[in-house]
Amino acid sequence: MAAVTQGRSVPSGVPHADELLAFAEAIVAGDPEVIALARVALERAMGPAAVVDAAAVAGNFERMVRIADGTGIPLDTPVKLVSADLREELGLDRFGSARETAPTTAVQRLLGRLLRPVVPWLARRMMGRRERAG
């Protein structure tokens, strides 16, 4: 996770991380020339399909963030609880959209740490129920 916020100076273990991070950083910076260079580097490293996938992920993320920010959607309580440490580690609460979510109390942080190991299992069960119902 540190590679996401600290850039290429932190090894992530992700194949072609340098090219992916450069592409993401170029998109955020918004300079068309820098984006073009990063796109070419990513295509050389991973192929044209990877460029399309990376651009789609970036575009979808931007869309979701704009909707959440525009409507003032706060984190729901379960997400807030289990993500408190990760949000702190990544410094996510420093962004303007974090103002929509009430600060996490010490008791909530402790509860989140206790629940975190159960979350993947619970998510799989909930997704299984939705698939069977649909």
If you count them, how many residues does the chain have?
134
Max Cα-Cα span within the chain: 49
Q: Could you give the residue ranges of the DSSP H alpha helices within the chain?
A: 2-6, 17-29, 32-46, 48-71, 77-90, 106-115, 119-133
Q: For 81-106, how does the pLDDT look when each residue is reduced to its tens digit (9 = 90+)?
A: 888 888 888 888 887 777 788 888 88
Residues 68 and 53 in one domain: yes
Residue 114 in this model has a pLDDT that exceeds 90: no
Q: Is the pTM of this model over 0.75?
A: no
Q: Which two tokens stand for residue 98?
A: 């974090």
Task: Count structural domains, the chain.
Answer: 2
Q: For 14-46, how does the pLDDT look when each residue is reduced to its tens digit (9 = 90+)?
A: 899 889 989 998 998 999 999 999 999 999 999
Full residue range of the structural domain in which residue 119 is found:
74-134
Domain boundary among the residues 26, 58, 73 is at 73
Cβ count near 81 (within 10 Å): 22
